[in-house]
Amino acid sequence: MSHFPPFTSRLVPLLANDIDTDQIIPARFLKATDKLGLGEHLFADWRYLSDGSPDPDFVLNKPEHAGARILLTGVNFGCGSSREHAAWALTAFGFQAVLSTSFADIFKNNALNNGLLPIQLDESAYSGLLKSVNRSSDIQITVDLEREKVTFPDGTTHKFPIDGFSRHCILNGIDELGYLQQFEKQIAEYEKSRPA
Amino acid sequence: MSKPSTVFEKIWNAHVVAPAQDALSVLYVDLHLIHEVTSPQAFTGLRQRGLKVRRPDRTVATMDHSIPTTDPSLALTDLLAAKQIKELESNTKEFGIKLYGMDSPSRGIVHVIGPELGLTQPGMTIVCGDSHTSTHGALGALAFGIGTSEVEHVLATQCLLQRRPKTFEIRVEGRLSPGVSAKDIILALLSQIGVGGGTGHVFEYTGSAIRALSIEERMTICNMSIEGGARAGMIAPDDTTIEYLSGREFVPKGKAWDERVEKWRALKTDVGAEYDRSISLDADKLVPMITYGTNPGMGMRVDDCVPDPSKAADSSKRAALEKALKYMNLQPGRPLLGLPVDVVFVGSCTNSRISDLRLAASLLKDRKISPKVRMLVVPGSQNVKREAEREGLDKIFKQAGAEWREAGCSMCIAMNGDQLEPGQYAISTSNRNFEGRQGKGGRTFLASPLTAAATALKGVITDVRTILNEKNSHLILNFEL
């Protein structure tokens, strides 16, 4: 039974480039010693007005995007700080996938380690999707991790790159640490072979 | 005959424990640095699995992000930060890890104390749950930031699963002119390649201008490699590196030192080694830089005008620039010189070492900062603080009207109460000018310690070259770094 079955969901377009992890989860929310409650604080400084009420103009607060599990963003998503809290906040909020043409390295690793799919589209697929987004606010995308593809509203399918190991771990709910621990013998040998 | 390799490749290859699936490698970590913000959930995970830390002797912790920079004997008023700090204390005790805690005379910003104590050494792999881990690459280490899950992996196995990055040579030839410093080199690079320019690559900095830099200056540059999207940034070790490390607490001594130095000398990029990409900068042409926007790649010459969105290359660049200028409340086409600032921050893992403080002090000596400016000077470690006080720099800062603080990350990330009010302008020697980075609604200009100090004197954004006089030029060019 797959831990990440195919799903269809509306997407939320947050079409800024270089969205950094300080925007995804501001530093003042990093004082937690657990992972709880971070969904509340996702994009906090863009999402709420100064009185703490939701900003009706911010895309995440718009009723037509409620329940969306896919985020569509600009290039280099997740740049800046290594805070894994960014991935935790996105998944706590309900996102299962982020669509872009590029992701920052550390964020990409953090996302994969938390079952949040960073789906890299090529330029033409991305601009095609943007056209659909500009025409309608109700865009449904199907994400199939097992087949490594997404299906767009126009019926076209697009393969996305994902390394086999991450795909295997997410589909099977396997933890990377469990895999690393299998290398105990080699790690011990390596340590013996090195001077202190 | 083996293929000529770069120093990155040599270090990578020497640390592969075993190949793993899909071109992943199990990479051994020589040094794991820990701080209070990204570790609690990792230790909790370890505890839940009933695991120990595999190599406590290769793990070192400090407190830097949420600690106050005021009197450490005062109780923390931020209860969450206090809890986080307590948790690091109990975790390090439980798992047998060395902690440079609140009562340690050697505590400080993790990327300042590592090199300072000689923990960071050439040829090592070094990780930390912090993106500015790239700093340690200045000593010829392969050093990079990781997330909290990976912190847990390293605690448990002393290894990480990694995909080998590509290499990107950043060659800087020539000489820096008076008033131009290492910070300006990295800001210039970022303005050229942008914040995603290095994604998937490790930067190696080469060239005569890099070789001429002190280790502290090299750390400034390697520190901000992550701002270009790079996985890490490094500079091959040389005599400067060896001299810097000689006699430090955690380097070997005697015969063991000599043997270690021989190994370090061999850690060079071979003639004929190839990089996946390369770029060249001419140090002769560099001038003091400043950022105008909301990411570290949005930088320009300090004497330039704010770019005009209507002239941007495409619609998404135009939108990004419009958004940034709106946040910063800046007019396109206008100069930044002469713009009043509210706060000047000298600190952070980018520029808070003794040489940075000396540069700022050289401008402030016997002068007063503008009464309109609040200036904070936050040394990177308690060792730096004591050295600065031995040299009388603290008196210079205080007499000039600046606040002299205890060590910590402070206003770089604004987690400890040192922060901007909404709408305030700050010029900062730190590494990020993202929206809200230094306080919600705060507006950050990134610059070198010299530019920041010059700005503090005048109260407005200032080109340091215009206020360098005979006396100061001599001091700045000849400081022992």
Higher pLDDT pick, B15 / B75: B15
Confidence of residue A196 (pLDDT cuts 50, 70, 90): low
CB count in 10 Å sphere of residue A26 = 26
**CATH homologous superfamily for A7-193?**
Aconitase, domain 4 (3.20.19.10)
Query: Is residue B262 packed enough to be buried (19+ CB in 10 Å), middle (13-18) or exposed (0-12)?
Result: exposed
**Is A196 near chain B, with CB under 8 Å?**
no
Query: Is the Cβ–Cβ distance between B234 and B140 less than 8 Å?
Result: yes
In the chain, the amino acid numbered B211 is R
The answer to whether the CB atoms of B161 and A165 lie below 8 A apart is yes
Structure tokens at A91: 């998944």
Compute the nearest-CA separation of B449 from chain A (Å): 22
The answer to whether the CB atoms of B28 and A187 lie below 8 A apart is yes
Chain B neighbors of A179, CB-CB under 8 A: 20, 161
Which of A19, A79, A83 has the most B C-beta neighbours within 10 Å, making it the best mutation to test the interface with B?
Answer: A79
Residue B463's Cβ-side half-sphere holds a number of Cα atoms within 13 Å equal to 13
Q: Which residue of A has its CA nearest to B26?
A: A180
Confidence of residue B1 (pLDDT cuts 50, 70, 90): low
Q: Which residue of A has its CA nearest to B153?
A: A177
Q: Which of A76, A83, A183 sits opposite B229 (nearest CB)?
A: A76
Q: pLDDT by residue (tens digit) across B393-418? A: 999 999 999 999 999 999 999 998 99
**Of residues A80, A18, A126, the one with CA closest to residue B134:** A80
**Is A100 near chain B, with CB under 8 Å?**
no
Q: pLDDT by residue (tens digit) across B9-59? A: 999 999 999 998 888 999 999 999 999 999 999 999 999 999 999 999 999
Q: pLDDT by residue (tens digit) across B125-175? A: 999 999 999 999 999 999 999 999 999 999 999 999 999 999 999 999 999
Confidence of residue A138 (pLDDT cuts 50, 70, 90): confident
CA atoms of B357 and B448, how far apart (whole Å): 11
Element (H, E) at B327: helix B315-328
CA atoms of A110 and A91, how far apart (whole Å): 11
Question: What is this model's ipTM?
Answer: 0.96
Q: Which pLDDT score, from 0 to 100, does residue B451 have?
A: 98
**Of residues B11, B94, B108, B22, the one with CA closest to residue B64:** B108
CB count in 10 Å sphere of residue A32 = 18
CA atoms of B139 and B120, how far apart (whole Å): 7
Compute the nearest-CA separation of A119 from chain B (Å): 16
CA atoms of B101 and B475, how far apart (whole Å): 36
- Region B305-325: what's the mean pLDDT? 95
Q: Which of A26, A79, A164 sits opposite B21 (nearest CB)?
A: A164
Q: Which pLDDT score, from 0 to 100, does residue B270 have?
A: 97
Q: pLDDT by residue (tens digit) across A50-102? A: 999 999 999 999 999 999 999 999 999 999 999 999 999 999 999 999 999 99
Tell me if residue B187 falls in helix, strand or coil.
helix
The answer to whether the CB atoms of A18 and B195 lie below 8 A apart is yes
Total beta-carbon pairs less than 8 A apart between chain A and chain B: 170
- Conformation bin of residue B423: beta by default, left when phi > 0, alpha when psi is -120 to 50: left
| pLDDT tops 70 at residue B471 | no
Confidence of residue A195 (pLDDT cuts 50, 70, 90): confident
- Region A27-50: what's the mean pLDDT? 94
Q: What is the DSSP letter of B174?
A: S
Confidence of residue B480 (pLDDT cuts 50, 70, 90): very low
Confidence of residue B216 (pLDDT cuts 50, 70, 90): very high
Please name the residue that has the structure tokens 């009185």. A51
**Is B256 near chain A, with CB under 8 Å?**
no
In the chain, the amino acid numbered B315 is S
Strand partners for B377: B346, B404
Strand partners for B282: B173
Domain residue spans of chain A: 7-193
Portion 133-172 of A in contact with B at CB < 8 A: 163-165, 168
Confidence of residue B472 (pLDDT cuts 50, 70, 90): low
Compute the nearest-CA separation of B384 from chain A (Å): 25
**What HEC string does A46-69 produce?**
HHECCCCCECCCCHHHCHHHCCCC
| pLDDT tops 60 at residue B481 | no
Portion 191-210 of B in contact with A at CB < 8 A: 195-196, 199-200
Q: Which pLDDT score, from 0 to 100, does residue B21 have?
A: 83
Query: Is the Cβ–Cβ distance between A105 and B231 less than 8 Å?
Result: yes
**Of residues B28, B59, B22, B67, the one with CA closest to residue B42:** B59
Q: Which pLDDT score, from 0 to 100, does residue B477 have?
A: 47
CA atoms of B188 and B205, how far apart (whole Å): 14
Chain B neighbors of A190, CB-CB under 8 A: 17-18, 28
> Over chain B, what is the mean pLDDT?
95
The answer to whether the CB atoms of A165 and B152 lie below 8 A apart is no
Chain B neighbors of A181, CB-CB under 8 A: 156-157
% of chain A with per-residue pLDDT over 90: 90
| pLDDT tops 70 at residue B475 | no
Please name the residue that has the structure tokens 């407005």. B460
CA atoms of B126 and B229, how far apart (whole Å): 18
**Is B84 near chain A, with CB under 8 Å?**
yes
Compute the nearest-CA separation of A125 from chain B (Å): 17
Strand partners for B189: none
Sign of CA dihedral B246, B249, B253, B257: negative
Q: Residues with Cβ < 8 Å from B175, sequence gap 6 or more?
A: B208, B209, B212, B283, B284
Q: Which of B23, B131, B440 sits opposite A81 (nearest CB)?
A: B131
Chain A neighbors of B146, CB-CB under 8 A: 82, 106, 109
**Of residues B286, B292, B305, the one with CA closest to residue B447:** B292
The answer to whether the CB atoms of B26 and A177 lie below 8 A apart is no
Exposed e or buried b per residue across A112-142, where buried means at least 16 C-beta atoms within 10 angstroms of its C-beta: bbbbbbbbbbeeebbebbeeebeeeeebebe
- Please report the DSSP string for B226-255 in residue order: GGGT-SEEE----HHHHHHHTT-TTS--TH
Q: Residues with Cβ < 8 Å from B295, sequence gap 6 or more?
A: A18, A20, A79, B195, B227, B324, B432, B433, B434
Portion 26-85 of A in contact with B at CB < 8 A: 26-28, 30-35, 45, 74-76, 79-85
Q: Which of A23, A82, A190 sits opposite B146 (nearest CB)?
A: A82
% of chain B with per-residue pLDDT over 90: 91
Compute the nearest-CA separation of B162 from chain A (Å): 10
Q: Which residue of A has its CA nearest to B297?
A: A18
**Is A187 near chain B, with CB under 8 Å?**
yes
Q: Residues with Cβ < 8 Å from A40, sequence gap 6 or more?
A: none
Compute the nearest-CA separation of A2 from chain B (Å): 20
